[in-house]
Amino acid sequence: MNNIFEIEIAGRKLQGEFGKLGMLSDCALLIKYGETEIMVNANASESPRDGIDFFPLSIEYQERLYAVGKIPGGFIKREGRPSDKSILNARAIDRPLRPLFPDNYYNDVQIVCTVLSVEHDNLPNILAMNGASLALCLSSIPFTTPVGTVAVGYINGEFVTNPTSKQREESILDLTVCATKERVIMIEAGGNEIQEDVMYEAIEYAFEEAKRLALWQEEMMNQYGKPKQEVIPPQIDEEAIKAVEEFAKEDIVSAMHITDKDKRKVVLDEIKGKIADELFDKYPNSIKDINEKVYKLQKKAVRTMILKEKLRPDGRGFDEVRPLASEVSLLSRTHGSGLFTRGLTQVMSVATLGSMSETQTIDGIDEQTSKRYMHHYNFPSYSVGETRPMRGPNRREIGHGALAEKAIEPLIPSEDEFPYAIRVVSEVLSSNGSTSQASVCASSLALFDAGVPLKRPAAGIAMGLVTSDDLSEEEVLTDIQGLEDFFGDMDFKVAGTEKGITAIQIDTKIAGISFDCIKKSIERAKVARMKILSVMNECIPTHREELSPYAPKVLTISINPEKIKDVIGAGGKIINKIIDETGVKIDIQEDGTIFVTADDYEGGRRAIELIEGYAKEVKVGEIYLGKVVKIAAFGCFVQILPGKEGLVHISKLDKKRVAKVEDVVSVGDEILVKVTEIDNTGRINLSRKDAIQETETETENESENS
């Protein structure tokens, strides 16, 4: 049976349809918003995986280039590995949904969002987030708390729901909010230094819009949804659980009160060893239950400390930032480097400058086709004192790099101000909470060290949350460390400058956060950010005036676009000649802007001179200092500009009669010549005689006037 239902959002129709496509999926939903269309397939395994203690949720966001009428580039001509944007979209779908599945549900769940058609006024990622939630609601998978998602822009003091392509260009805010009908559960934001009160109002505004979608999904679930699978709680050895509590509870609580991280780990390892010696032989079939109980005892101890005793595991105040340190110019041959340390979290960022030809080309379904500022983040195993195979970046690393990029991108100078492609790599050297925000700080330092004229430095901080089971009590924590992140309920990352917020990302482990928590987090994050920025400013208050001697030198020139062909030459002959002669890189834009990248200024200036010569238009009546390049019986050929030669007939070579060209000039001589004619085939006729006469006349006039 084919079912169709719809709702209006921002004056446009959002429509869901199922029962027509993908008949064998638990739910195959075709969701449309304008002419953007996505198929969402939701399926789950019939039974839980054996031996796992986590929820195996898999989200796939599949971009198809036919959705925007493109054929993939390269030789293979088909979509390859997911783009970074696809991975980020999949993560954004995962984060609000995962906390809303029932506890003890360990069946494999896979949601596949396939982008079929894209109208750039209606973003496919926002549609996919709504479609994933709705598909789960309509399926038999035990998911019963719908999540609505909207994008919000801010234009001329007004909030705009799901802004169109043109509105997104005008907006200084790019906000995505996911919410249930009761609470905000996920926030992703980028902005051009947005004031804290404006950001809070935007979130409130977005919640009301997202709430409408959540209520609509709930109505559709009640009307069309399948009966839900029963969640069967796993069998637990109650006797073993009780034995763990009696044997180790007090010791675990005592250990969690040790403020030193290393000492606490040593004591906890000893306790776990004693538990293993005492209980594993007695309960050989319940080791998983025993380990789970140890984890829960640790978690409860930390949360009780924070909520009841008003203590943090490391002894800090709730709004206290860990010790800070900043350093620049660590590395000898790089273009810029910065080291940022907060407690036991440490990140080194390295900035590299390149020619505009090194701008990243993006082959995807979005409007963005290139990227001049690139931020990459690496999280090696040694940063947490562990070992694991070294492979390519995982989804988390891609996500953290994108967040840091979003935080700094609004501060990057324009091409006109700083004509470079810029890449920053953040290497996590030590991790104990919020390395993504430490990479924002380290990257600002590295960019300043590289001489990049950022508008202002950016810094970031992560806020945490601990709530009671009924959500009646909550404590917001500034600068969460790893333990508080692991056992807490929220990771609220805020990055920005002294003027405002440039990026926000919120993940929760509970069914949403209160507006009081959001407000406190934003306000306290600002206080912490100002403290961090003051430490960074003491290290390097502004960008260096000179680039590293190892950085490329970029010079810019603008020519008439009609002259581009003259600079390039037939088959690239001219431009390749310039490159071979000067050793530079040349990037030519359609508007006539030319970027010359050289290892030294001398080579760059020489290339600019040559380009100017090839682009300059020869005009009748002008006098040039030219070079004799060839002699014939009837005259000589003179190069007056690069690639532009003209003939001086023997009769025009001197004021007196010339019997033989060689009597007056030789190859290689520099002589003044005047352009007397350019015929309809482009041939240039020159006169040394006229140039001499005109020069003599000017000299006589100057003598008379003096």
Q: Quick check: 203 and 508 in contact, CB under 8 A?
A: no
- 439-474 as b/e, with b when 16 or more CB fall inside 10 Å? bbbbbbbbbbbbbbebebbbbbbbbbbbbeeeeeeb
AA letter at 162: N
Which residues make Cβ contacts (< 8 Å) with residue 459, sequence separation at least 6? 437, 440, 441, 444, 495, 496, 497, 529, 532, 533, 536
Q: Is 254 left (phi over 0), alpha (psi -120 to 50) or beta?
A: alpha
> How far, CA to CA in Å, does 336 sit from each of 55, 417, 425, 464, 496?
42, 18, 11, 32, 21
Residue 39: which residues within 8 A CB-CB, separation 6 or more? Answer: 21, 22, 28, 29, 30, 31, 113, 114, 116
* Whether 575 contacts 569, CB under 8 Å: yes
**Tokens standing for 688?**
């040394």
Give the annotated binding-site residues. Answer: 485, 491
Residue positions forming the annotated binding site for Mg(2+):
485, 491
Which string of DSSP letters, residue by residue, matches 325-341? EEEE--SSSSSEEEEEE
645 contacts 639 by C-beta, under 8 angstroms: yes
Is 686 strand, coil or helix? Answer: strand
- 628 phi and psi, to 5 degrees? -70, 120
- Please state the separation of Cα 660 from the chain's center in Å: 70
State the maximum Cα–Cα separation within the chain, in Å, rounded to a whole number.
122
